[in-house]
Structure formats: C-alpha cells, structure tokens
Amino acid sequence: MKITKISVFRKDLPSVGGGLAVGDLTAERARTFDTFNSTVVVVDTDAGISGCGESCPWGASNLGALPAMPGLAEALLGKDPRELHKIERIMDAAIEGHSYAKSAVDMACWDILGKSAGMPVYMLLGGKLCDGAPLYRCVMEQEHDRILAEIEQYRAAGYKYFKLRVGIEPERDIELIRFAAGIAEAGEVVYADANCRWTLHDALKVVRAVDDLGVMIEQPCLTYEECLHVRARTNLSMKLDELVTDQTMAERMTSDLIADVACVKMARIGGLTKARRIRDYFVGHGIKIVPECMMGGEIVSAAVSHFAASTPAELLFNTTDLHAYHTEPTGTIAPPTSDGRMFCHDTPGLGVEPDLNSLGDPVATFE
C-alpha cells in the first residue's frame, strides 16, 4: 500500500457561547478566541483506502498545519502509511518541528491502518481498557451566580469534572477557587487552571490561600522551574499541560515527581504515535493521564476517544469532547457521549469520515 494523494482542508470552528479563553507559552500568556481554525488532512492510497486526520492549534501556532504540508507531502508520497514508526521518522527527517502538521498526518495514517486491518484504532493501541472516558468541562464564568449556573448545567448532563479558568489576579482567583470548591457535590472534582498565567509570586500566594481545600492546580506558571518550585511548597496536587511537549520532558517530570496528572495532547507532541509512547511512559510510572488534543472537531474527538479508551481506567483522569466546543463540524459521525462520558466507535479505523459538505474544497492537494 502506498500514499498517492494528500489533500488539505481548512475549516473555521466558531466557539459555542461566543468565546474561549486559553493560555499558552507565548509572551501574550492569554488570549480569547471566538473562532478556531482547524486543518483536516485526507490521505489516499493505491489500495482505495483513505484516512483522515485533524489538527487545530491556537496562539502563536494558529497558522496550523498548512505551511509544513508541501515538505511533508513530498517526503511521504509513495510511502506505506501503515508503517507508523517509519512515517514518524520520515516526517521528522523531512522538516523540523511543526508538530501540528505531523499530528494530522499521523492521525490519518492510524485511520488507514485500522481500516486495512479491519480493527478500531483502540485495538491497535492495545485494546479497550476504559469503557467510556470521564469528561471535564471548562467553567469560564467569573461571577458566582454564573459559575453556579454553568456547573449546574454540566452537572445535569452527567459531568463530574469542572475546570475553573483562573490566572486573572491572585485575590480574585482565590475567591473563585474557594467558591467553586464550596459548591462541588460528593464525587465531583473542581480544579483550577492558570494556563501559565501566574507569576511565581502570584502562584505561591494562591496555593497557600487555598491549601486547605484539596483542589488541584493546573499549570500555574510559565516555566518548568517555577512549577517545580510551587509544587515543593504546597500540599495540593498538580497537573501539567503546556509543558508536556516530548519524551524528555515526560522523563524529567517523572523523575522530579512534579505532577500527579499529565495532559498528553497529540497535536502538541506531534501525533498519536508519539503521544502513545509518552502516555505509556507516564502510565508505567503511575501518573494519571488526560489524553486529548489542542482543539478541533469530530475527527480530533474520534482520535481522542480511542486514545482515552486504550488508557488504563485507574490512570485515566479525564478527557474532553472537543467537538462539543464548536458550532461547525469537521467530520461525521462524532464519538458518542452519554452521562458525562465519551465512548469510541467500534468500526475499523477512527470511525469518523471527513464532512466534505462542511469542509468544502481542499486548499491544497499533493500527488
């Protein structure tokens, strides 16, 4: 089997509710997006089997996968997409960086491998170890009554994990965390995500003020050293996200005992192939995992659902249904969700196909 054509589509994904505030490792530290731009890649083969992948970054990398695609396509045409480790090495040799572009291509190759083997992707990842991944929801509101209303809305849909967006200013963040923790019911988990936005001084101020609550703090500061300093000075559990970038960082985090939970995002790392390797390393050392991606539609969510399903249930912290954050589709059919959990399709491959009516014509084709 050989790759004969690679088609690239771009799709604007308007955010549900009008906007989503996210943090990153750029100098801006925080931005609010009302639209995310997703890149969908379709890989065709001479065997008549096609696969789809998707990547949807933000911030400094919001140009997405398109700039890297000519170089990647030139290196990949004529290669067997089922040889995932070879594809990984070819892409890394062809172009440095551009993890977002590589992730979309890698995802499409996993889809092809599953279809050619007649197996869902989760089986190729080691089997289904979790029957329905618990989902979290981001609580974006800043007023108490609106926080309560949003949590009650998600609670009614079965969600038990609520991620509170903080990083505004320390006194306000302390107030929000204490309020949200106070309205949590038995079995629910509230955690505060600063998205790298606290200075070291602010982070220490907040964790000391909420140390009695038992909440989890996510990515308090911009640098690894700052996060490690905070970790050593609080009894609160910690989750790292933006700093989980490669195998070397995973090994460093494990050695330093810095994180109770690690978020492994396919697009940030360079694809499902690399993400699985890092996920398995964390799992082998007893660190809980949030398997997910940056942003995206139904194609990304399908890949996340298989990634989560193949993670041991006792070490799967949660994940999220990224397609539910947008009003426009990239693929069909989305992985099913029910009672605050996401399930994966049992059909061969990812179980999702690109929605060409929504995507329109490709912006680039390589053959």
Which segment of 32-36, 110-114, 206-210 scores lowest on mean pLDDT? 32-36
317 lies in the same domain as 219 = yes
The answer on 129 and 105 residing in a single domain is no
Residues 6+ apart with CB under 8 A from 199: 221
Same domain flag for 69 and 43: yes
**Domain of 60: which CATH number?**
3.30.390.10
C-alpha span between 356 and 13 (Å, rounded): 15
- Whether residues 234 and 291 fall in one domain: yes
User: What is the torsion angle, in degrees rounded to the nearest 10, for the CA atoms of residue 322, residue 324, residue 327 and residue 330?
Assistant: 50
The per-residue pLDDT for 20 is 64
For the chain, what's the residue count?
A: 367
State whether 176 and 110 are in the same domain. no
Closest CA to 276 of 77, 54, 85, 105: 85
What's the domain range around 131?
Answer: 124-354
In the chain, the number of structural domains is: 2
Collapse the DSSP code of 165 into the 3-class scheme (helix H, G, I; strand E, B; otherwise coil) and give the result: strand
Residues 42 and 189 in one domain: no
Provide the pLDDT confidence category of residue 67 given band limits of 50, 70 and 90: confident
pLDDT of residue 25: 46
Residues 152 and 14 in one domain: no
Q: What per-residue confidence (pLDDT) applies to 193?
A: 95
What pLDDT sits at residue 60?
A: 46
| pLDDT score at 18 | 62
Mean pLDDT of 135-141: 89
pLDDT at residue 22, rounded to an integer: 57
pLDDT at 176: 94
Residues 332 and 198 in one domain: yes
On average, the pLDDT of the chain sits at: 93
pTM (whole model) above 0.85: yes
The answer to whether 103 and 266 are in contact (CB under 8 A) is yes
CB atoms within 10 A of CB 319: 27
The CATH number of the domain holding residue 162 is 3.20.20.120
- Which residues are within 8 A (CB) of 361 and not within 5 positions of it... i.e. 6 or more apart? 9
Task: Please tell me the predicted confidence (pLDDT) of residue 327.
Answer: 93
Residue 347: the pLDDT is 98
Would you say residue 301 has pLDDT above 70? yes
Q: Identify whether residues 283 and 337 lie together within a single domain.
A: yes
Residue 307 and residue 229 share a domain: yes
Residue 356 has pLDDT above 90, yes or no: yes
Q: Are 208 and 136 members of one domain? A: yes
Residue 4 pLDDT grade (very low, low, confident, very high; cuts 50, 70, 90): very high
Q: Which two tokens stand for residue 190?
A: 């509230």
Q: What is the DSSP track for 85-100?
A: HHHHHHHHHHSSS-HH
In this predicted model, what pLDDT tens digit does every residue of 23-34 receive, in sequence order? Answer: 544 555 556 678
User: In terms of domains, do 156 and 300 share one?
Assistant: yes
Strand partners, 213: none
Q: What is the mean pLDDT of residues 184-203?
A: 94
Distances (CA, A) of 158 to 151, 194, 289, 316: 11, 25, 21, 17
